[in-house]
Amino acid sequence: MNRKSTITKEQIRRWLRETDWRRLDTLFGRADRVRRDHVGDEVHLRGLVEISSHCQRDCLYCGLRRQNRILSRYRLSAEQILACARRAVHYGYGTVVLQSGEDSGIRREWLTEVIRQLKRQTHLAVTLSLGERDRADLAAWRHAGADRYLLRFETANAHLYNRIHPPRRPGLPDRFDLLRTLRQLGYEVGSGVMVGIPGQTIDDLADDIEWFGRLDLDMIGLGPFLAHPHTPLGQEYAEASDRPADPRQVANSELMTYKAIALVRLVCPDANIPSTTALASLNPQNGREEGLRCGANVIMPNLTPPAYRRQYEIYPAKACLQEEPGRFDQQLKQRIAALGRRVGVGPGAAPHYLERRKAEVPS
């Protein structure tokens, strides 16, 4: 566990089963105080740029899966990416997140050069979220100046993981191996899971939350599983909806996601935790704010050029489809102020990362 964790595994399980709102309010209040004490009142904004919707994987839940032939694919040019980064600077964001499907068309050398340019032209922190890549790629990008890497392990239950991810060539590093590699390379490391994957039990989700602490992560993102009709898991979910649910099944609901966010905050007090777009997709009115009120301290406004957003449909009805960057930015900042919080300035690294780096590299 993260050494600062203030909760036991049994308590995590109990909270995940809790349905009484009054009692849950005490959980959310406690998570909110832990958030304030460890990462403060700043809400860090990360400009998300979805740089390619090509994907060579076939994850059973994701709309970008290779076999989804209905989706037309795009890959942004270096100049388009740099233009998005300039928007991030314009809005005062401290970080740009480059995300894509697992796309071997994103060549190591090409992205190395994009990262160099980004670091030369802006003061932005650069986060990558590009799936499972070779150690040599990860090392080159780190060397070029990339600061952070996000790679969700999706579920720590190996059986469930294998059910929703087609097998890969044996001998390849798994996501846990890659998270270790990223850490060795000096990245600030993020991971996460989906909440309410069909077949995921309360015990599984409690294990996931415990894993976040054990992996000593700097960033943890989690959002509800959202059924995509053009995926096998989305279809299975739709067909099962008229059958009674297994009582152990984790709901892919807003409330379950808030509980999970709050519990992650208690397990990893000084990590950065976003209130995710998937959550906002379940509740476009105030899902993001509610996430911020029960433990989260980061929001990732979408800066992908609007013309491409429909082609990056991981799940349907993504909140960002309705969000024009300029207006969204203004509203977001007002909403953060209305919560009594401040917009973060600077790169906004997780205190957890800064502390562990101090311990690793004695000055």
The site for ligand 5AD, by CB under 6 A, has a size of 12
> If binding is defined by CB under 6 A, does position 314 make contact with ligand 5AD?
yes
Cβ burial, residue 242 (10 Å; 0-12/13-18/19+):
exposed
Rounded Cα gap, residues 243 and 51, in angstroms: 39
Shortest Å distance, C-beta 292 to ligand 5AD: 19
CB of 47 vs ligand 5AD, minimal distance in Å? 16
* Position among 133, 228, 293, 318 found at the interface with ligand 5AD (CB under 6 A): 228
Q: Select 206 or 280, whichever has its Cβ closest to ligand 5AD.
A: 280
CA dihedral of 8, 11, 12, 16, whole degrees rounded to 10: 180
- Nearer to ligand 5AD by Cβ, of 219 and 314: the residue is 314
State yes or no: residue 13 binds ligand 5AD (CB under 6 A): no
- Rounded to the nearest whole angstrom, what is the least distance from the CB of residue 93 to ligand 5AD in the complex? 19
Residue of 154, 218, 270, 289 interacting with ligand 5AD (CB under 6 A): 154
Among 225, 258, 308, 312, binds ligand 5AD (CB under 6 A): 225
Q: What angle do CA 197, 239, 254 make, to 5 degrees?
A: 40
Least distance to ligand 5AD from the beta carbon of 281, Å?
A: 8
Stretch that binds ligand 5AD, among 19-27, 168-176, 219-227, 319-327 (CB under 6 A): 219-227
What is the token pair recorded at 9?
């595994």
Q: Which is nearer to ligand 5AD, 12 or 150 (CB)?
A: 150
Report the distance separating Cα 9 and Cα 64, nearest Å: 34
Beta carbon nearer to ligand 5AD, 62 or 81: 62
Identity of the residue numbered 325: P
C-beta neighbour count of 46 within 10 angstroms = 27
Q: Which amino acid is at 201?
A: T
Q: Is 61 in the site for ligand 5AD (CB under 6 A)?
A: yes
27/84 with CB nearer ligand 5AD: 84
Q: Is 54 in the site for ligand 5AD (CB under 6 A)?
A: no
- What does the H/E/C string look like for 126-176? EEEECCCCCHHHHHHHHHHCCCEEECCCECCCHHHHHHHCCCCCCCCCCHH
- List the interface residues with ligand 5AD, window 189-208 (CB under 6 A): 194
Stretch that binds ligand 5AD, among 6-14, 18-26, 48-56, 218-226 (CB under 6 A): 218-226
Q: Which stretch binds ligand 5AD (CB under 6 A): 77-85, 86-94, 172-180, 222-230?
A: 222-230
Taking the least distance from each CB to ligand 5AD, the nearer of 39 and 226 is: 226
CA 114 to chain centre: 22
CB of 258 to ligand 5AD, least distance (A): 16
Q: Are 263 and 1 in contact (CB under 8 A)?
A: no
Q: How far apart are CA 99 and CA 274, in angstroms?
A: 15
SS3 state at 118:
helix
Q: What is the DSSP string of 269-292?
A: TTSB-B--HHHHHH-TTTHHHHHH
Task: By CB under 6 A, tell whether 62 contacts ligand 5AD.
Answer: yes
Please tell me whether residue 226 binds ligand 5AD under the rule CB under 6 A: yes
**Size of the chain in residues:** 363
Stated as kind and residue range, the H or E segment containing 48 is: strand 42-52
Q: Which one among 28, 308, 315, 353 touches ligand 5AD, defined by CB under 6 A? A: 315
Alpha-carbon distance of 131 to 152, in angstroms, equals 9
Which of 101, 190, 198, 223 touches ligand 5AD by CB under 6 A? 223
Residue 232 Cβ, how far from ligand 5AD at the closest point, in Å? Answer: 11
DSSP code of residue 320 = G
Q: Which two tokens stand for residue 52?
A: 């390619």
Chain residues that interact with ligand 5AD, rule: CB under 6 A: 61-62, 152, 154, 194, 223, 225-226, 228, 278, 314-315
